[in-house]
Amino acid sequence: MVSSNDELKLIDFGLSKRYETNQKMKTIAGTPYYMAPEVLDGRYDNKCDTWSLGVLLYVFMSGYLPFQGENRNDVFYKIKNAKFHFDHKEFKDCSKGVIDLIKKLLVVDPKKRLSAKDALRHNWFSLTIAKSASISIDKDVVERLRDFKGVSKLKKAAMNMLVKMADQASIEQLREQFGKIDADGTGLINADELKIAIKESNLKIPDSDIEKIISEVDYFGNKKINYTEFLVATLDVKSFIDDNKLQAMFNQFDTNGSGVITKETLLQL
């Protein structure tokens, strides 16, 4: 059983690629148990991912794969015909909402299958979000976001490396704060979400300052703050950094192992 303090991580994206709108893909790749029917046919788009997420959700709720068989052909037949069930005893304790969501994700016809955006709007998520804590965010976190200005690209790059060394305990509170601000669960904070979070936290910050925060913290220039950028701006470096982390960061910039960082090694990096 997963507790509220546990963190689930999706890994193994070796076969992933950036999807372009209306693009049709043909490569039959992935683990058979998680493949969408259209992937088996060799013509699919990004809706294949929501099928795979439906499989994952089924596994999370029960511990079983929805499509099993004595051989690969048997598994493929069940996938292409969406032959799965909720007879496992573990589903007795599951809400009707999550079962309905699984059903709407494991739909053979991609046109009738939920998109990722529509899945996030499903009432199972809505009820979960409604039960969550207040949106109120920590004043100190907002102040760190405001103070993160005039930072050089070199320091931002170094901080990007540093936050990747952080353990869960060091960033747990910041992760919760990010989740409160990221109202739509996209993994990106836009200006409107930040304005709403600040307003509901009864913090007096002009809208013009919020635009400046987004501009300064946004490392990749998409006018939104992703999770890593948020950590870079809000992590209390003094309480986290030590000699070993400093050395590891330096080694990343010292690409030729010469013991010094030069213009050439920075360009190479």
Divide the 269 residues of the chain into consecutive groups of 10 and give the mean pLDDT of each group: 58 81 86 94 94 96 94 95 96 94 97 93 75 69 87 84 83 88 86 89 85 87 89 86 89 88 84
Give the pair of three-digit tokens for residue 153. Answer: 């690209």
Closest CA to 197 of 216, 213, 219: 213
Domains of the chain in start order, with CATH, are: 32-130 (1.10.510.10), 139-253 (1.10.238.10)
- Rounded distance between C-alpha atoms, residue 90 and residue 253, angstroms: 50
The verdict on pTM exceeding 0.95 is: no
pLDDT of residue 128: 62
Q: Would you state the pLDDT for residue 189?
A: 93
Specify the pLDDT at position 5.
Answer: 53
Q: Which residues contact 30 (CB under 8 A, 6 or more apart)?
A: 15, 39, 52
Q: Which residues contact 110 (CB under 8 A, 6 or more apart)?
A: 36, 38, 44, 45, 47, 48, 51
Q: 41 with 26: CB under 8 angstroms?
A: no
For residue 54, with 0-12 CB atoms within 10 Å meaning exposed, 13-18 middle and 19 or more buried, which class applies? buried
